Structure 1
């Protein structure tokens, strides 16, 4: 199943532009992979979905740039660390690790 999402903001620039429409395929039987671009829900956020790149998956060491804000040494099962393509993006440093249950799908470029 496919869903259409619209990029809001510049967090994924230069890969995706503000206002650009993307297709995302729902994840059904597999976990996201490193470097995939995912769409996920953020509870209590003003935007219904976020679009970010997977930086680390369950079992991976927590990336050094994220280590100060995450207590664990490895990404726990059922979670991923995400990063935006823009250096000023809001990502796992601010949002924390993303629960895989909140992932809506993976973007197909």
Structure 2
């Protein structure tokens, strides 16, 4: 099953651009490292985010995130760490770990 999503903002620039239309494949598996995913967040104005998976369950917590999650050395089961391609993007430092249950799907062709 496929879902159409429109990119809002520049968090994934230069890979994706504001207003770009994406074809998102619903996932019936866990996201993979490096995959660009769409996931739900509790924000009524922008209820979805598009980010790249930086670490999956069982991976070490990335050094750039370790200070935000003291005492957590590995990504827990059922969660992923996300990062935007734009260095000024929100990522797991602000959004926290993303629950795999909130992942809508993976962007095709990125």
Q: Under TM normalisation by the shorter chain, which class is it?
A: over 0.9
What are the Cα deviations for residues 59-101 of structure 1, in whole angstroms up to 9, with x where unaligned? 0000000001113110000000000000000010000000000
Q: Distance in 1 between matches of 2:16 and 2:42?
A: 23
User: TM-score of the superposition, structure 1-length normalised?
Assistant: 0.96
What is the CA distance between 1:45 and its match in structure 2? Answer: 5.1
Q: Distance in 2 between matches of 1:46 and 1:75?
A: 29
Q: How does 1:49-68 map to 2 (within 5 A)?
A: 49-68=48-67
- After superposing on structure 2, the runs of 4+ consecutive aligned residues of structure 1 that deviate more than 6 Å are none
Give the CA RMSD over aligned residues: 0.8
Q: How does 1:1-109 map to 2 (within 5 A)?
A: 1-28=1-28, 30-44=29-43, 46-71=45-70, 72-109=72-109
Number of positions where the alignment pairs a residue of Structure 1 with one of Structure 2: 108
User: TM-score of the superposition, structure 2-length normalised?
Assistant: 0.95
**Ranges in structure 2 where 5+ consecutive residues have no aligned partner:** none
